[in-house]
A and B are shown apart, each in its own frame.
Chain A
Amino acid sequence: ETGVTQTPRHLVMGMTNKKSLKCEQHLGHNAMYWYKQSAKKPLELMFVYNFKEQTENNSVPSRFSPECPNSSHLFLHLHTLQPEDSALYLCASRSTGYSNQPQHFGDGTRLSIL
């Protein structure tokens, strides 16, 4: 039990499809994150939500649309993606009480764009 659950684990989609990634955390945290992990590149922070409010959008293309209905759930809606969007998408959560609190990660969704 990781505390942060991501579904689906794998996703293959065409460039014209619409799909969503889901993240759920059972840790009582109030901050949630989306990261993109590509081969041989540092993890790229995409979005940050704090108490359901988006506090960071790291210049992410509009074909990625996040949604945070409550502090436990985070979605990433995908539409008209490009081949370079193929990557591992990681969700994380964190308690914002103290800066030394680590982020807890899910297992990620491996996304492949055809």
Chain B
Amino acid sequence: AQTVTQSQPEMSVQEAETVTLSCTYDTSENNYYLFWYKQPPSRQMILVIRQEAYKQQNATENRFSVNFQKAAKSFSLKISDSQLGDTAMYFCALNTGFQKLVFGTGTRLLVSP
């Protein structure tokens, strides 16, 4: 079975600072994909960044980057230069097959001025 664990229910950061959200996962598959989704109060789940397990290079998207440690099954998200609009729930998700995403319980991030 695949599982995704996010051990930080809530985090706070001040504007312009850097914050890292943790995610660990478990799967017996060798080929899989990892995603971070953001869900602001508007409710829409928005893709932030994705990582293919066979790629050693960490994915980056502007201010968002990941630290992918395959052996440790860790996939953390780093947000640099945090902005007020980054306030949201952040979900880590694992896709091992053709169809299914397994989500973590989420981390609520509050960015304050």
Contacts and interface: CB of A to CB of B under 8 A. Distances in A.
Contact of A88 (B32, B43, B52): B43
A43 B35 CA distance: 14
Interface residues of B, number: 26
B56 interface: no
Contacts of A50: 99
Contacts of A42: 4, 102-106
Nearest to B5: A42
Contact of A107 (B31, B42, B99, B102): B42
Contacts of B104: 42
A23 interface: no
A59 interface: no
Given A43-B91, A99-B33, A100-B50, A56 B44 contact: no
A96 B98 contact: yes
B98 A105 contact: no
Interface of B: 4, 31-33, 35, 37, 42-47, 50, 52, 91, 95, 97-106
